[in-house]
Amino acid sequence: MFSYNKIINVLEVYSKRNIYDYLSRPDIEFDKDYSDAGQKFRQPIYKDDQKSKNGRSCWL
């Protein structure tokens, strides 16, 4: 049985505030500067970002 508190709501993760915050400092080493809750929201965004890049740099 799952606890609602442990399940991350997709709408909470991909809020405008979290996306802007991630885009301003996208590197994983900045996670330590955030609270546990902030890290919990940044990690799925980081993983999706890395999947979309397929290991490539997107700088043109």
pTM above 0.75, yes or no: no
Give pLDDT, residue 57. Answer: 59
Question: Pick from 40, 42, 37: which is nearest to 21 by CA?
Answer: 42
- What number of CA atoms fall less than 13 Å from residue 58's CA on the CB side? 7
Which residue ranges make up each domain of the chain? 4-53
Helices (H) and strands (E) in the chain, counts: 3, 0
- Contact between residue 14 and residue 45 where contact means Cβ atoms under 8 Å apart: yes
Return the axis-axis angle of helices 36-53 and 16-24, rounded to nearest 10°.
70
> For residue 12, what pLDDT band results from cuts at 50, 70 and 90?
confident
